[in-house]
Amino acid sequence: MTIQQHPSPNHGSRYGWKPDRIVNHITAGSSAAGALAVLCDPAREVSAHFVVDKDGTVYQLVALDRAAWANGTSTTPSDSRYYGRSTLAAVRNRCTNANYYTISIEHVCVSGGELTAEQLAASIKLHRYIIAEVRRLYGVTIPVSREYIIGHCEINPVTKPNCPGAQFPYDAILEGLRQVEIRSDTSGTVSIKRGDFYTAKFSGTNANQLIVTAGTGDVVTIVPINRGADKLAAIVPIGKPGDASGIYTTVPGGAP
């Protein structure tokens, strides 16, 4: 995907924490220009990793290995942003600033959280990009679920109860992330002799996340191999001559 770089000076260290959650926001303003001006103003001391405009343009303000100043929580119980007020057990249990382990996306929207079709499509692609980059940079897989793809209101329910809003399309984003486009170099029936094996190759969106299984486990054994963006599956016969089994692929959290 195309991402326009628009660096903000407002960021800090992750202090050894690895990001494992994506936090969605709305800008509460009607223009990307206004949002970028605020998020890049050192006097405002706020930022986000990304901004998604209504036309689908994506801006990156902060590198993923840095903590943007978007989801900060306080360690002081009397503070309205105290981590103990979060509705999320992970935030309460970690007892630290949520900026350290989150990645933030601002969506240009005044209120409610309803996105344009272009915004939604871009946000899905951006979530997918972040998940892939976090895996590459940190070896951490962000699950495609509401426990890990969250809203600012869940971190700071007192100060940000309406961010990103009741109409924010969490379900549509999760559904989009679970959709995959997989291509296989194999079609039809393949005959494999005992003592031999056959290697099938799968490529496409999220191919290296595929789980490859046999419909009948006592006929063949599957040996999965990740190779870059592709998935290879060595299919080894262990049954009797003439036995047959279907081979199936699924993506974690997604449909077959």
Determine which of 43-47, 49-53, 169-173, 193-197 has the lowest per-residue pLDDT on average. Answer: 193-197
**What are the boundaries of each domain within the chain?**
4-178, 182-248
Contact present, 61 and 7 (Cβ < 8 Å): yes
- Angle subtended by helix axes 117-138 and 170-178, to nearest 10: 60
Q: Tens of pLDDT along 62-79?
A: 999 999 999 999 999 999
Confidence of residue 206 (pLDDT cuts 50, 70, 90): low
In 3D space, the residue among 57, 43, 47 whose CA is nearest the CA of residue 10 turns out to be: 47
The architecture (CATH level 2) of 4-178 comes to 3-Layer(aba) Sandwich (3.40)
Q: What three-state secondary structure class fits 199?
A: strand
pLDDT surpassing 80 at residue 253: no
Whether 217 shows a pLDDT value over 90: the answer reads: no
pLDDT grade for 254, boundaries at 50, 70 and 90? very low
Q: Minimal CA–CA distance to 174: which of 151, 198, 197?
A: 151
As beta bridge partners, residue 74 has 82
34-43, 47-56, 246-255: which range is least confident on average?
A: 246-255
- Average predicted confidence (pLDDT) for the chain: 93
- Confidence band for 119, pLDDT divided at 50, 70 and 90: very high
| Backbone torsion region of residue 238, taken as left when φ is above 0, otherwise alpha when ψ lies between -120 and 50, otherwise beta | alpha
Output the pLDDT for position 256.
Answer: 44
pLDDT level of residue 255 (50, 70, 90 thresholds): very low
Backbone dihedral region for residue 74 (phi beyond 0: left; psi -120 to 50: alpha; all else: beta): beta
pLDDT of res. 251:
65
Q: E-strand spans in the chain? A: 4-5, 11-12, 21-26, 50-52, 58-60, 67-68, 102-107, 149-151, 182-184, 198-204, 211-214, 220-227, 230-237, 247-250
Task: Tell me how crowded residue 236 is: count the other CB atoms within 10 A of its CB.
Answer: 16
Percentage of the chain lying above the pLDDT 90 cut: 76
Which pLDDT score is estimated for 48? Answer: 98
Cα–Cα distance, 160 to 171 (Å, whole number)? 21
3-state secondary structure of 142: coil
* pTM above threshold 0.85: no
Model confidence pLDDT, tens digit, residues 143-178: 999 999 999 999 999 999 999 999 999 999 999 998
Residue 116: pLDDT above 90? Answer: yes
Residue-wise pLDDT for 85-98, tens only, equals: 999 999 999 999 99
